[in-house]
Amino acid sequence: MGRKILDRKTSERNLTAIAGMLVFSMGINFFIVPADLYNGGLMGISQVIRTLLVQYVHLFSGTTDIAGMINLILNIPLFFLAYMTIGKSFFTRTLICVVSQTIFLSILPIPSVPVVGDTLTAAIIGGIFGGCGIGISLQAGGSSGGMDIVGMYFTKKYKGFSVGKVSLLVNAVVYGVCAILFGVQTAVYSIIYSAVSTLMSDKTHTQNINTEVVIFTKKEPKEILDYIVKEFKRDATWWEAKGGYTESRTYMVIAVLSKYECAHLRKDLRMIDENAFVVAKDGMSINGKYEKHL
């Protein structure tokens, strides 16, 4: 029975990751490509290569957009990095995400006339779709590959590093090239798209938000502590207190989790102590040893 539940959860996470890539691809093909804008990261590099091949080498013109296929090829060496250094499950789900992304980018039609006439509007709407799609895939445990893999590798290896810092550095190079090749206006609107996409991704990717959780319970705290340690691989601290109104004995358990983990804690805590009182505070600044479960 446990194996079936695990397989079902894995399937659900894979389908969620694929759905995220569909949303991302819709943002790219329906809004960003028709507006001649560019993504950041490895996908942006793929789009620049695509444009150079079509406009200057006159290859693949009039065919299906090949940016997704170029992105898949560039991701191949990064797949090995993900498998060797980050984890098998992350590698598998990232592979699923990148392959599904390539398929969606290839089959979703690109309108010959922009869906919206205003470039700024296209950048904002495309950023909302793109960021939400990436965030959904990240929340399911996968990613769109590219700089996400490199960023997560450096995040795990070096303290103070983050996926965002790596992406920012690569994006600066990509948009610098865009400004030189395609004009400053294209680069500026592409940066606006990237900023909106990053904002939406951060809002959707709840594993990236640190949350302080304080649980008040009348029961012995051992079961709650065991659950936090085994389920989330986190530590927790507890102490005995006294209720101010009832003056009865109360136990307080405090832990720092991601917002994603906190949502699971709230749901499962009902089975441990349905009367437990939970206080959660998002956006905590953390110093010291705290492993990011990305």
Domain boundary among 189, 206, 223: 206
Same domain, 199 and 150: yes
- Tell me which residue has tokens 């170029």: 70
Q: What is the CATH number of the domain that holds 261?
A: 3.30.70.120
Residue 287 lies in a domain: no
Percent of the chain with pLDDT over 90: 14
Residue 293 lies in a domain: no
- Domain count of the fold of the chain: 2
Same domain, 225 and 103: no
* pLDDT at 1 (0 to 100): 43
pLDDT in tens, 130-153: 888 888 887 777 777 777 777 777
Query: CB of 202 within 8 A of CB of 208?
Result: yes
Q: Per residue in 129-139, is it b (16+ CB within 10 Å) or e — as a string?
A: bbbbbbbbbbb
Long-range contacts of 105-108 (CB under 8 A, 24+ apart): 105/25, 105/28, 105/29, 105/65, 105/67, 105/68, 105/71, 106/64, 106/65, 106/68, 106/69, 108/25, 108/26, 108/29, 108/30
The pLDDT of 228-235, averaged and rounded, is 82
Does residue 28 carry a pLDDT above 80? Answer: yes
Domain boundary among 175, 206, 237: 206
Residue 39 burial by Cβ neighbours in a 10 Å radius (0-12, 13-18, 19+): buried
State the Cα–Cα distance between residues 8 and 16, nearest whole angstrom: 12
Same domain, 74 and 214: no
Domain boundary among 174, 206, 238: 206
State the Cα–Cα distance between residues 279 and 213, nearest whole angstrom: 6
Same domain, 249 and 158: no
Rg (alpha carbons) of the chain, rounded to whole number: 22
Residue 25 lies in a domain: yes
> Whose CA is closest to 151, among 141, 166, 136?
166
Structural domain boundaries, residue 269: 209-282
Residue 202 lies in a domain: yes
Q: Is the pTM of this model over 0.75?
A: no
Of 28-42, 145-159, 250-264, least confident by mean pLDDT is 145-159
DSSP states of 114-139: -SSS-HHHHHHHHHHHHHHHHHHHHH
- Tell me which residue has tokens 């530590």: 235
Same domain, 150 and 22: yes
State the Cα–Cα distance between residues 250 and 270, nearest whole angstrom: 17
Residue 189 lies in a domain: yes
Same domain, 193 and 216: no
State the Cα–Cα distance between residues 230 and 70, nearest whole angstrom: 41
Of 31-45, 192-206, 224-238, least confident by mean pLDDT is 192-206
Same domain, 193 and 220: no
Same domain, 217 and 99: no
> Whose CA is closest to 207, among 278, 268, 137?
137
Same domain, 249 and 142: no
> Whose CA is closest to 45, among 21, 67, 23?
67
Same domain, 144 and 223: no
The pLDDT of 270-276, averaged and rounded, is 83
pLDDT in tens, 43-73: 889 888 988 888 777 666 554 568 888 888 9
State the Cα–Cα distance between residues 94 and 144, nearest whole angstrom: 6
Same domain, 190 and 247: no
State the Cα–Cα distance between residues 34 and 194, nearest whole angstrom: 16
Residue 49 lies in a domain: yes
pLDDT in tens, 85-135: 777 777 888 888 889 989 998 888 888 777 888 899 999 999 999 888 888
Establish how many alpha carbons lie within 13 A of residue 37's alpha carbon, considering only the half-sphere containing its beta carbon. 30
Q: Order the strands of the 277-282 sheet from edge to edge.
A: 237-242, 249-258, 210-217, 277-282
Same domain, 52 and 101: yes
Residue 277 lies in a domain: yes
